[in-house]
Amino acid sequence: MNANLKHVCVKAFLAVAFCACTAKVQAADIKVMSDSPLEPALTKVVDLYRQQSHNKVGLVFDPSPAVKKRIEDGESADVVIVQPDFAEALTKSGKVSAGDRPIIGHVGVGLGNRKDSPAYDISTVEKFKSTLLGADLLVFNSVKSGEAFAGVLERLGIAGTLKSKIVRTTPLGIFEPVLKGKGNDMAAGTIPLIATTPGIKLLGPLPAQFQSSLTYTAVLMAKTSQRDAAEGFIKFLVSREAKAAFAANGAS
């Protein structure tokens, strides 16, 4: 190999090595803890973010109260996505930064049943009430969306009538009793979870006057070791592309 060719090969090798090292340095690995109802939509949004940034994102899902407790107990992350009141509590305890808290999405409440059960129309108050009264089992959670649904039953004047048919569970436990049931069993919960749970079909959102959307905000952990990447991820969550993906997966 002559000297010139050897020189060119060395330069090419160094250029490739430099690019590889640069890419390695630039790629970040961030951990995101999020409220469970956002899982179907946030997973799609994160796929888009990974494609564009080449950063790695580890997702951990739990209901907002559980996310708050895990962080207060010492679990670390880079970005936290929870309901605003939980974000406020974590800010006061110094666990998350006190900066901007952009609203990244809203999740509504709906009603679902087994795929082999009738497809009831719940688009009006009268049809919604009639469907609930015809249920053999009505399952909903014991946290914020479940409390809101319990309030709907009170407003409809049927809470007492349905009392013996109601089962309260954890947010992710609302589907098991329905899937195992053999009667006219229904689950009330967040729309993305109902729509993406195997064996369950979404009958529809609650009528507008009874709808109670959950709002989600993204905050930066105070002690994140990936501040730049974490801030960039939060900015991506409010981008036009991310909002379209959220909306397409039940989180407007």
The neighbouring-strand residues paired with 32 are 59, 79
Residue 119's pLDDT is: 96
Is it the case that residue 16 has pLDDT exceeding 50? Answer: no
Integer CA distances (angstroms), 8 to 16, 17, 201, 232, in order: 12, 14, 63, 38
Q: Is 187 helix (H, G, I), strand (E, B) or coil?
A: strand
CA 65 – CA 143 distance, rounded (Å): 8
pLDDT in tens, 119-163: 999 999 999 999 999 999 999 999 888 999 999 999 999 999 999
Mean pLDDT, rounded, for 59-64: 92
Residue extent(s) of CATH 3.40.190.10 domains in the chain:
29-106+214-248, 109-210
> What are the strands, taking DSSP E only, across the chain?
29-35, 56-62, 79-82, 103-107, 109-114, 137-141, 166-169, 185-190, 200-205, 214-220
Q: Model's pTM, two decimal places?
A: 0.77
Q: How confident is the model at residue 5 (pLDDT cuts 50, 70, 90)?
A: very low
**CB proximity list for 45: less than 8 A, separation 6 or greater:** 236, 237, 242, 245, 246
Q: What angle do CA 172, 208, 104 make, to 5 degrees?
A: 55
CATH superfamily, with its number, for domain 109-210: Periplasmic binding protein-like II (3.40.190.10)
Contact 87, 80 (CB under 8 A): yes
Among all chains, which residue has been given the structure tokens 């009392």? 163
CATH topology of domain 29-106+214-248: D-Maltodextrin-Binding Protein; domain 2 (3.40.190)
Is it the case that residue 14 has pLDDT exceeding 50? Answer: no
